[in-house]
Amino acid sequence: MTLTVSTPAAQGVAATDVLAFLDAVEAADGIQPHSLTIVRHDRVVATGCWAPYTPERRRLLYSVSKSFTATAAGLALAEGLIRLDDPVISYFPELDAEITDPRSRAMLVRHVASMASGHEAETLDRARALGGGDLVRGFLLVPPDRDPGTVFAYNQPATFTLAAILQRVTGQTLTDYLRPRLLDPLGIGDVTWLTDRSGRQLGFSGLHAPADALARLGLLYLRRGVWDGERLLSPQWVAEATRAHIATAGVMAGDDRQDWDRGYGFQFWRSRHGYRADGAYGQFALVLPEHDAVIALTAATVDMQGLLHLVWDRLLPAFRAAPPPGQDDAEAALAERLAGLALPPAPGKPAPPERAGHRSGAAFTRSGGDGADQPGLRGATVTEDDDGWRLTLQEEGHSLRLPLGPGGWTVHERPLPVAVSGGWSDGDTLAVDVQFLETPHRLRVACSRAEGTFTARWHTTPLHPGPLTSLRASR
């Protein structure tokens, strides 16, 4: 289904304020926007992607995956496949004799759905260490610090366990179960989900989907489970999933956590305004019932609260009770601006300013002081052929060849979708930005001919470890 498009003014949205938000987010230090969609009164009033990102390309949504897992739980609940007050251990009888801690045995489905397992901190590393390859087993072997339902901890194995329950009772992966019940009715195209070693989809992260999946999921919840006249979710589930089940104030780290201190539902966060699906580095589906609106964002930033501040300060004033007057020029300017959104490329020339002394095949080793980012990256080679200069990165049996374009972003689809910009800043230094287009992540590589070394730095660090060639949606 194609989302219906409208002019902003026809839905009471001021284009001047949307333009102000675009100005602010592009000027903000440390925030790299990737896409924006604004829906009001069921109409898309503004949408755009910052090139080299495109609307149809799948991208990693990180913990927005949790909200899709919760939606699968709502569907399974309606079908009688799960019950919220069932003990978690009842779905894993093969572990019954091994799980003896009374708090682990008292943990209910509703507790793992609401991050209220009784643990006071993230258990992922401990669960992996104890599980012997089974993250559910490891999670249930980590004794909760307090009674389930009494304390919040953002806890990846809790969601993984919910996802494992769903995959067990349905006999399907999450994507296969959601395809006829949610993904196809909402018009969400091809998606993939990362799996663990047992083949179970992670649930807590790893979903790759087009950017407008965020807007579609948000609009389904805004409409209390109804999509295009068809009920997909019960209104009771929507209400339960999006209300605060457990307090979060004061339990999350950080100096400015205004939108993380409002309580947690079933894999949805409460916000200062409405509620949201929320993924690392700025993947958001913001549902604003008080404004009858959804704002969907993808980005790359460690300052997620700063990005939300910009939304509340600059975008919320755009929502008016009546069409704002005198917006024709602003709407034309907004349409032009949205059509031309682009990330600034890294500076550099496609060839060294002076060719003397340069040779094809120059090899670079990792700088001795550059061991923190992507430690498996061992070497780099710079070559020249008839098509220009090429940077090749070597990493643990993998190589990634990156041709440099004449300027701006050059997109390459193989061996994985990346965009490359940058070039030579002088005769000795080659600096290149590599944007991994199915993720939020950008790597800057700088090669020094004088030193024979290179450095590599992430703008935002991938949360799923692996070689560079793994930074893509699974095929």
pLDDT of residue 474: 87
Tell me, yes or no, whether 259 and 391 share the same domain: no
Residue 281: exposure state from Cβ atoms within 10 A (0-12, 13-18, ≥19): buried
Tell me, yes or no, whether 184 and 318 share the same domain: yes
Considering the domain boundaries, does residue 239 fall inside one?
Answer: yes
User: End of a domain among 271, 305, 339?
Assistant: 339
Tell me, yes or no, whether 194 and 273 share the same domain: yes
Render pLDDT for 307-316 as a digit per residue (tens, 0 to 9).
999 999 999 9
pLDDT of residue 360: 62
Render pLDDT for 90-127 as a digit per residue (tens, 0 to 9).
999 999 999 999 999 999 999 999 999 999 999 999 99
User: End of a domain among 324, 339, 354?
Assistant: 339
What rounded mean pLDDT belongs to the chain?
94
User: End of a domain among 289, 304, 339?
Assistant: 339
Q: Which is more confidently placed, 358 or 153? A: 153
**Alpha-carbon gap, residue 267 to 436, rounded angstroms:** 27
pLDDT of residue 465: 87
CATH code, domain carrying 60: 3.40.710.10
pLDDT of residue 352: 78
Per-residue pLDDT at 359 exceeds 90 = no
pLDDT of residue 357: 47
Considering the domain boundaries, does residue 432 fall inside one?
Answer: yes
Considering the domain boundaries, does residue 141 fall inside one?
Answer: no
Tell me, yes or no, whether 331 and 186 share the same domain: yes
Of the candidate ranges 1-5, 53-57, 75-79, 100-104, the one whose mean pLDDT is the lowest: 1-5
Tell me, yes or no, whether 196 and 323 share the same domain: yes
**Alpha-carbon gap, residue 20 to 119, rounded angstroms:** 43
pLDDT of residue 354: 64
Q: Which is more confidently placed, 21 or 383? A: 21
Considering the domain boundaries, does residue 94 fall inside one?
Answer: no
Tell me, yes or no, whether 292 and 410 share the same domain: no
Tell me, yes or no, whether 401 and 447 share the same domain: yes
Tell me, yes or no, whether 55 and 199 share the same domain: yes
Q: Which long-range contacts (CB under 8 A, 24 or more apart) does 278-282 make?
A: 278/63, 278/64, 278/67, 278/304, 279/61, 279/62, 279/63, 279/64, 279/65, 279/205, 280/62, 280/63, 280/205, 280/304, 280/440, 280/463, 281/62, 281/440, 281/460, 282/31, 282/33, 282/307, 282/440
Tell me, yes or no, whether 330 and 384 share the same domain: no
pLDDT of residue 100: 97
Tell me, yes or no, whether 330 and 257 share the same domain: yes
Q: How many domains does the chain have?
A: 2
Supply the range of the domain harboring residue 307.
9-78+166-339
Considering the domain boundaries, does residue 25 fall inside one?
Answer: yes
Considering the domain boundaries, does residue 290 fall inside one?
Answer: yes
Per-residue pLDDT at 356 exceeds 90 = no
Tell me, yes or no, whether 304 and 433 share the same domain: no
C-beta of residue 281 within 8 angstroms of C-beta of residue 440 = yes
Reported confidence tier of residue 202, pLDDT bands at 50, 70, 90: very high
Considering the domain boundaries, does residue 428 fall inside one?
Answer: yes
pLDDT of residue 450: 87
Tell me, yes or no, whether 326 and 373 share the same domain: no
Considering the domain boundaries, does residue 97 fall inside one?
Answer: no
